[in-house]
Amino acid sequence: MLTPKFDQLVKQLQILPSVGQKSAQRMALSLLTKKREQGVILAHALQVAMSEIKECQTCHSFSDDDICPICSDTRRNDEQLCVVESAADVMAIEQSGAYRGRYFVLGGHLSPLDGINAEDLHIDELITRLKNTAISELILATGATVEGQTTAFFISDIARTHVQKITRLAQGIPMGGELEYVDSLTLHQALQNRAFI
């Protein structure tokens, strides 16, 4: 403990993912000893982000405005809708450069053991969107966890009456993976989801 204010800074840095006590102390010391000016800029950026970044009214991803840049982009394919669990998933898919359709962020996944049910997610809004928009393909890009699989199955079951084509992201062996090191569940999914070449 250096000072109560230093301890408070360390405590607040620990709210970030994967930042423990020691990492938070190193960050705080670095900011205070070498990077005070950047620390002030960081504090301002955090203040602006916390007060001005909001949820897109269309897809529920992050946005500076009521409608995010992806939903505003007229060059995107309106007939493809990719359903993801979080804004982080949108960022990951966008970085791949492989998708040019629209998104819908659920805000999590179904997990009855954790008390997260369909009413806690944006599933009702998703179904309303499917009813009111001509979607030719619904892409379910939820996680490869049990909860992600359950969420995808639940959505596909209720969306089937509104969308002709419902697909799921391919799952299986990662690029560069060797079969002898792949777990049996992943190998099972890879065999189930094999494709023509």
The reported pTM is: 0.82
Q: 66-77, pLDDT tens digit by residue? A: 999 999 999 999
Range(s) within the chain of domains with CATH label 3.40.1360.10: 62-191
pLDDT at 172 (0 to 100)? 75
How confident is the model at residue 64, as a pLDDT? 95
What mean pLDDT is reported for the chain? Answer: 90
Confidence class of residue 94 from pLDDT cuts 50, 70 and 90?
Answer: very high
| Rounded Cα–Cα distance for residues 56 and 70 (Å) | 10
Distance, in Å, from the CA atom of 59 to the CA atom of 89, rounded to the nearest integer, reads: 13
Q: H-helix or E-strand containing 78?
A: strand 77-84
Determine the pLDDT at residue 187. Answer: 77
In angstroms, the first-to-last Cα distance of the chain is 61
pLDDT confidence tier of residue 183, bands split at 50, 70 and 90: confident
CA angle centred on 88, ends 83 and 89, rounded to 5°: 35
> What number of helices (H) and strands (E) belong to the chain?
8, 6
Lowest average pLDDT, out of 11-25, 81-95, 152-166, 171-185, goes to 171-185
pLDDT higher than 70, residue 197: no
CA distance 166 to 39: 47
Name the H helices within 16-173: 21-33, 36-52, 69-72, 87-96, 123-132, 146-159
State pLDDT tens for residues 22-41: 999 999 999 999 899 999 99
Which part of the chain is CATH 1.10.8.420? 4-52
Per-residue model confidence (pLDDT) at position 135: 94
**142: enclosing H helix or E strand:** none
Per CATH, which fold does 4-52 belong to?
Helicase, Ruva Protein; domain 3 (1.10.8)
The owner of tokens 């205070």 is 32
Identify whether the C-beta of residue 138 lies closer than 8 Å to the C-beta of residue 163.
yes
The pLDDT value given to residue 1: 59
Domain 62-191 has CATH 3.40.1360.10: yes
| Range name among 75-79, 143-147, 150-154, 173-177 with the lowest pLDDT average | 173-177
